Structure 1
């Protein structure tokens, strides 16, 4: 046995130094959340230590029907826009991997365009283009869902493309064709089940982007469809403690959604291995 093999960690175990490093990084990343949480539990923090412990901010927040409505609206925006984007991209990527590979460069260029579009530019462009047309596209809600679909497009595209490249989707389709399976059926029944984990990972990034957006929701829908960021902005001038409580709840909701998606990803990976 070579010296290199002997020096390798047994069983792939993480060293103590690596664990300590990860713990320090984790504490550093959680520090802003911890400070915000502490601030939300006190009346003021003008000295070294906060003073006036209270749960008033959370009681007021949880009894506010507008707050729960804004959370629900944000979840709906996230779910609908991500599902629409995934469905459209999966159909488009079928043309790339099963019909013409050269379309991949065109697809990549189109999907990267939203990177260059700032929220203000995108919202103003959508409003100017569709307002007053008298069609369903002039509906503010339809415009908002479309805007978020465009916003998360490059992030979900990258995840789906990487997942397809990792499993060599074109080869899988060709192998399925040799066994008498049609291209589209092979794409649906063979390729898609193998990229579920990649789709879920890209959805996580899209989820955080939708939850953190203020510009699109404020410019396109305003108070007509108030998401959680618009609600936060409306309450920032009222109370800093209440605003901190809102931030804490946003963090917990995003964390819960992330944990759910990671659980689904873990289940998908087990299914792929089986």
Structure 2
């Protein structure tokens, strides 16, 4: 057998082993979701097998306007806070990449601060600082959007920074300048299209953070702007089956948003290749 044939055979074996391993990991990660889904379809599960099959929990949720409103509010929180953070970071990273790279360390330090801020500390700090000021910042909704903008800052920053480093943005801007293009125009028309994938991936992580948060929404807005986690908490004492159904739908909504973003990313990569 030739060396090329052996290499091809080893490559196929490695690929098959990798697929099997990924399948096992995927099944393991899906066990909690599948268990939760099964529990949501039965009245009780006190024995080896659940008993009392019912669709009551899903029928109740699908007819509950408050439930869908809470999902809509969470999506709005996610989209607005992530969009604000992306715009602010892209403008700030322009200064770092095209004006003064020495500001990069200070930028990184500032963006990493939210890692050390627990949700309770952040929410209480924001409320204490802005409540009673008589400005637009004292509005609870403005505070909540601002809090989520801070919360997702480190995750989106890491994605954008890694994407900029991967394409060597400074070199691209310098090359564009040599061709007579201004720095900001080069940043917008040359650099940003090449980091769309990094922005979308970091947005997915930020989306999961916002969907999974309870502390900020509960402490700052409470029932005035009830997100999905606050709604889940309010219904946990009513029925464990209903709570499980809520978790399943949250998972499916997040999965749908993730699939949409990944589809956009795939479309962006194909257009770049063409």
TM-score, normalised by the number of residues in structure 2:
0.96
* Residue in 2 that maps onto 1:239: 239
Shift of the 48–78 alpha-carbon distance from structure 1 to 2, 3 Å rule, reads: same
2:210 maps to 1:207: no
Give CA deviations for 1:50-73 in whole Å, capped at 9, x if unaligned: 000000000001100000000000
Shift of the 131–9 alpha-carbon distance from structure 1 to 2, 3 Å rule, reads: farther
2:114 maps to 1:114: yes
**Once superposed, what is the RMSD of the aligned Cα atoms?**
1.5
Between the aligned partners of 1:160 and 1:238, the Cα distance in structure 2 is 43
Unaligned runs of 5+ in 2: none
* Residue in 2 that maps onto 1:96: 96
* Residue in 1 that maps onto 2:37: 37
* Residue in 2 that maps onto 1:172: 172
1:24 deviates by 1.0
Between the aligned partners of 2:68 and 2:51, the Cα distance in structure 1 is 29
Shift of the 272–10 alpha-carbon distance from structure 1 to 2, 3 Å rule, reads: farther
Between the aligned partners of 1:173 and 1:70, the Cα distance in structure 2 is 44
Between the aligned partners of 1:128 and 1:135, the Cα distance in structure 2 is 14
* Residue in 1 that maps onto 2:72: 72
1:8 deviates by 3.7
**Hey, which bits of structure 1, 4+ residues long, moved more than 3 A?**
5-14
Shift of the 26–100 alpha-carbon distance from structure 1 to 2, 3 Å rule, reads: same
* Residue in 1 that maps onto 2:22: 22
* Residue in 2 that maps onto 1:151: 151
Shift of the 91–259 alpha-carbon distance from structure 1 to 2, 3 Å rule, reads: same
Unaligned runs of 5+ in 1: none
* Residue in 2 that maps onto 1:85: 85
SS at 1:256 equivalent: helix
